[in-house]
Structure 1
Amino acid sequence: MSNYPKNCWYVAATSDEITDSPLGRRLLGEDVVLWRGASGVVTAFENRCAHRAFPLSHSRVDGDRLVCGYHGCTYAADGACVHIPSQPRVPIGMNVPVFPLIEEPPFVWIWTGSPAAAASSQPPSAVWVNDAGWTTFADSWRVNANYMMIHEHYLDFSYATVVHANDIPKEIGSMPAFSDVEISETTVTYTRIMPEASLTDWQADATGLDQDRKYKHRESGTFVSPAMHRQYWDVETSAGKDYTTTRTHAITPETACTTHVFMQSSRNYSTDRHEATSRLRSFLAQVAERDTAILEMAARHSGYDAWRGGVEFQADLASLRARRIVGVMLAKEAGPHALRPGLAPNTREDSLSPLQPLTS
């Protein structure tokens, strides 16, 4: 059973992935083919020819049309078949489903839910990615785990001193409690203020700051939507300047138990230092590899149902709030009397203050 709301914009691919060579990808349980026509516009079809369900990812682009690689059925960008080589007329109503898309580089967003609802919604923005004052690089990977396990993992950074012990300042033996939690109808943001601490090797290498001094550190994260998470790590100097490293994670379910992650890492320091980019790229690839190993181990062993049924800690508050937001979205899609078992909003945290521990 899937637990992802479909009435939501998700990242289907990055802009540079989509060319005039059709790209097949499974997104939210749907087989999709994405292609860029001669006009530069990106189109997404269901990845099945209307004739014999041949995968249209094995097709070719001809101008602003897609030509099936089996019988040569030719489709216009609106999904209508406009030509069949073996006969003069196209059968009435022969077409393939088309998914709404929005391209906002570096992302191409797709909507697999109700087409009518797409018109009144916009994808979340990635404000730093195209800002001239920031430098950004990208990475992507696939995780064999439910997409909410990834969201909840990122929203609970208390594991960092265990899983990423060598990458956390040595003065921080355990992650402090949330300093602040902000909750809206659709988003959750938390902040942790760290004790003053020296820099780790990756921080010193990337920022160029003196590793022998101590600095104020701040870690924060935001559940933006079921499709996006943002994470920030700030180092503040004595002059009051913030050195911010942020990761924007576009999180797209592939199936109920596999997920695409499209990451953009941005920073507001050393923007012209290629060495800093190389250092951060290598460091964050190792972080992603360890995170993925943890999540896939938990998914193989227990799955999301057992994951979400565990005893909760104070550090899980942001995760629980995000889980509730998704539950409400699923309930709206299912209808007022069709809440699916196991996916209803979790109300246990409703009576708790934002910073109250969840220990019983």
Structure 2
Amino acid sequence: MFPLNRWYVAGFAWELADKPLARTLLNQNIVLFRTGSGEVAALENRCCHKSLPLSCGTVENSGVRCGYHGLLFAPSGACLEVPGQERIPVKARVRSYTLVEKDQILWIWMPQEEGAAPTCEAPDYPIHSDPRYTFRGDVFHYDAPYQLIHDNLLDLSHLGYVHLKTIGGNAAVHMNAELKVEAAGDQVRVLRYMPDSVPPPTYLGAWPFEGRIDRWQEVEFKVSHLNIWTGGADVGTEDMNDPQRGGFHMRGFHAITPETDTTAHYLWTMAANHHPERANVIDLVYEQTALTFYEDKVVIEAQYENMKKHPNAPQIDIHVDVGPNRARRVIERLIRDNAAPAAALSAAAA
């Protein structure tokens, strides 16, 4: 159901304090924790003794201890201690996953074959440490399949209808914005420009624009996450082709990690710059961003509920669907690629 042999976002660094965290990822029941020595780890969320979730236990310096009979498990999944007996059974271990902490993001490698090592490094996200920006983030749960969230983020024309009080603006301007879609390998890039437009409420609250603005929306789809760079500058003051252009910037990190076939985790951060004449506006930007994402959540979950009521009803495409459709084709191809080796092995065994 999902592309495998790749990194997905399991959480954020600040979520791991002194307690284990239960999270289902790609239909896998997983516990995340940080040991007392600072190491991050991910294990199957099930004690191999009596199946109590390890998330019901406690974190210690060397691992996580089951809350039922006290078996202690290392980040490798090996049992380190069985209280009351010296001998540790050979089979006393649980499945482990590779978990990497990078730029305050927790990346988990989801292999096709259990125990397979990563074949590449976890992605970088330098925005979180860029001194030009400050950021905040959160985790939302969606009762909807993950690709519906991809569709939403790759088609920002909906802003003029769904987000009128925050990052929206004139609906006609959004629907008629200059649109460019690029695809290369496993990535899709959607570029939208809205010159000489009225700045939306969130922008006005964060930046002292002189009047109308040239506005941009650049979306990069990367299967496990999307990077969305939006912003605006006073009309005619910046080159929209210059990656170092000035003005007000919002840098969004959007990790859409499937929970199950029909539910998803939305792990996001929003970074923003601030004008020297204004105090840091990250709290305003965060609150406005969270509001827009709640608005999207309502729409997407209602959309999915209605899709279940009309399971065979066709859907037509319009011009704004080019980006989402290309992303869906990427996912379909990757799932087929994962399935091919398994099918070959089955045929050979037969």
Match of 1:346?
none
Q: CA deviation at 1:326?
A: 0.7
Match of 1:357 in 2: none
For 2:184, give the aligned amino acid: S
Quick check: 1:178–1:190 contact (8 Å CA) kept in 2?
no
* Alignment of structure 1 residues 105-184 onto 2, 5 Å: 105-113=103-111, 114=113, 118-167=117-166, 168-170=168-170, 172-184=172-184
Q: Deviations over 1:185-224 (max 9, x none)?
A: 11000111213122222211111223xx212111221112
TM-score, with structure 1 as normaliser = 0.86
Structure 1: gaps of 5 or more residues: 340-360
Other-structure match for 2:241: none
Matching residue of 1:354: none
- Give the distance between the partners of 1:295 and 1:182, measured in 2 at CA: 25
1:327 is matched with which residue? 332
Equivalent residue of 1:203, what SS? helix
Cα gap change, 1:334/1:300 in structure 2, threshold over 3 Å: closer, same or farther? same
* Residue from 17, 28, 32 that aligns with 2:26: 28
Match of 1:41 in 2: 39
Whole-Å Cα distance in 1 between the matches of residues 204 and 6 of structure 2? 39
In structure 2, the gaps of 5 or more residues are 239-245, 345-350
Conservation of the 8 A alpha-carbon contact between 1:198 and 1:215: yes
2:263 is matched with which residue?
258
Aligned CA RMSD, in angstroms, stands at 2.5
Deviation (angstroms), 1:60: 1.6
Deviation at 1:57, TM superposition (A): 0.6
Q: Cα distance, 1:21 vs. partner?
A: 1.3
Give me the whole-angstrom Cα distance separating, in 2, the residues matched to 1:20 and 1:133. 31
Q: By how many angstroms is 1:245 displaced?
A: 1.3
Structure 1 residues 87, 9: closer, same or farther in 2, change over 3 A? same
Match of 2:232 in 1: 235
Instruction: Provide closer, same or farther for how the CA distance between residues 324 and 267 of structure 1 changes in structure 2, counting only shifts above 3 A.
Output: same
Describe the superposition over 1:218-244 as per-residue Cα deviations: whole angstroms up to 9, x where unpaired: 12211122x101222221224323322
Q: 1:318 and 1:104, CA in 2 relative to 1: closer, same or farther beyond 3 A?
A: same
Partner of 1:82: 80
Contact 2:218 2:228 in 1 (8 A): yes
Tell me if structure 2 keeps the 8 A contact 1:233–1:244: yes
CA separation of 1:89/1:116 partners in 2, compared to 1, >3 Å: closer, same or farther? closer
After TM superposition, list the pairs within 5 Å mapping 1:210-359 onto structure 2.
210=210, 213-225=211-223, 227-237=224-234, 238-240=236-238, 241-270=246-275, 276-303=281-308, 310-335=315-340
Q: For the Cα contact (< 8 Å) 2:187–2:327, is it kept in 1?
A: yes
Q: 2: distance between equivalents of 1:110 and 1:308? A: 36
Change (3 A) 1:304 1:47: farther
For 1:353, the equivalent position in structure 2 comes to none
User: 1: distance between equivalents of 2:218 and 2:305?
Assistant: 29
Residue in 2 aligned with 1:62? 60
3-state SS, counterpart of residue 54 of structure 1: coil
Amino acid at match of 2:41: T
Q: Aligned pairs, how many?
A: 334
- Aligned partner of residue 333 in structure 2, secondary structure: helix
| In 1, Cα distance between equivalents of 2:283 and 2:175 | 27
Give the alignment's TM-score, normalised by structure 2. Answer: 0.88
Go from structure 1 to structure 2 and tell me whether the alpha carbon gap of 1:305 and 1:316 turns closer, same or farther (over 3 Å shift).
farther
Aligned equivalent of 2:243? none
Q: Do 1:59 and 1:66's aligned partners in 2 also have CA atoms closer than 8 Å?
A: yes
Is structure 2 residue 40 aligned with structure 1 residue 8? no
**Native 8 Å contact 2:145 2:262 kept in 1:** yes
Give a deviation string over 1:284-329, Cα, whole Å, max 9, x none: 1211111000000011121499599521112111111111111111
- Quote the Cα distance in structure 1 between the aligned partners of 2:275 and 2:254: 22
Contact 1:5 1:326 in 2 (8 A): yes
For 2:201 and 2:281, how far apart are their aligned partners in 1? Answer: 12
Of residues 51, 67, 75, the one that matches 2:49 is 51
Partner amino acid for 1:267? A
Separation in structure 2 between the aligned mates of residue 116 and residue 99 of structure 1, nearest angstrom: 7
